[in-house]
């Protein structure tokens, strides 16, 4: 007996729903896991300057997951790191495993929050552009759009206070000092070639202008 058109459509619908259910479930799980993150990073991943929590909405899921792994395994947020980084290490430790990290990272990367606040860091944009093109653009891209293949995040969506703070942390060794943090060590070396604190400000002002 040949299947009727209606039974065929019903079978197709069931197949499609079976394929969609895991994705729907993962999205719901991601939303649930992200609630802890939202308290600092914002419901739409827009960040919170008062809490020193950067925006997440401009980052890829791969980068977010990679940083969560670093916080969880001790490559970031250890002794000597900043208080927000140590808090992140504590929060990352509550995620039950790699699947949870991947799920919450996917959810966070899909958010569309726009970072709020005025520019806080002043500098020579022209000189900062020269520094950027010499030392940063090869990995982070000419427009600071990032490069997934090199694990280099987008910088253009980050607020200037965060960019400056992280560059300073890399140069002072409070970030990127762990022997297993390969990309962190690379960033520490790059930040170290900038000749002064003002140079950090100049680079930051240039990147902030790209946003």
pLDDT in the model for residue 12: 45
State which CATH number among 1.10.760.10, 1.10.530.10, 3.10.100.10, 1.20.1050.90 fits the domain covering 121-211: 1.10.760.10
Residue 179 half-sphere exposure, CB side, CA atoms within 13 Å? 0
pLDDT in the model for residue 174: 93
pTM: 0.85
pLDDT in the model for residue 200: 97
Q: How far apart are CA 149 and CA 65, in angstroms?
A: 15
Q: What are 80's two structure tokens? A: 């000597």
Rounded to 5°, angle at Cα 182 from 180 and 186: 140
CB 151 within 8 A of CB 95: no
pLDDT in the model for residue 133: 97
26-117 and 121-211 have identical folds: yes
Cα–Cα distances in Å, from 111 out to 37, 116, 203?
12, 15, 27
pLDDT in the model for residue 118: 72
pLDDT in the model for residue 13: 46
- The domain ranges of the chain are 26-117, 121-211
pLDDT in the model for residue 16: 45
Provide block-wise average pLDDT over 10 residues at a time, the chain (211 residues).
Answer: 52 46 60 96 96 95 97 94 94 94 97 85 97 97 95 94 96 94 95 96 96 73
Domain 26-117 sits in CATH at 1.10.760.10
pLDDT in the model for residue 28: 67
pLDDT in the model for residue 75: 96
């Amino acid at each position: 007996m040949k299947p009727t058109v209606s039974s065929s459509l019903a079978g197709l619908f069931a197949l499609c729903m079976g394929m969609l259910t895991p994705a729907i479930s993962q999205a719901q799980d991601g939303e649930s896991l992200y609630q802890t993150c939202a308290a600092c990073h914002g419901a739409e991943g827009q960040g919170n300057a008062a809490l020193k929590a950067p925006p997440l909405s401009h980052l890829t899921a791969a980068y977010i997951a990679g940083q969560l792994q670093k916080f969880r395994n001790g490559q970031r947020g250890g002794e000597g790191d900043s208080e927000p980084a140590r808090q992140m290490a504590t929060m990352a430790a509550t995620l039950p495993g790699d699947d949870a990290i991947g799920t919450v990272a996917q959810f966070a990367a899909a958010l569309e929050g726009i970072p709020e606040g005025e520019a806080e860091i002043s500098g020579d944009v022209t000189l900062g552009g020269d520094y950027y093109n010499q030392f940063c653009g090869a990995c982070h891209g000419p427009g600071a759009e990032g490069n997934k293949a090199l694990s280099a995040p987008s910088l253009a969506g980050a607020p200037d206070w965060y960019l400056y703070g992280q560059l300073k942390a890399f140069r002072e060794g409070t970030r990127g000092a762990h022997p297993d943090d390969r990309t962190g060590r690379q960033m520490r070396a790059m930040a170290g070639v900038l000749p002064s604190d003002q140079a950090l400000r100049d680079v930051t002002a240039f990147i902030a202008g790209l946003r």
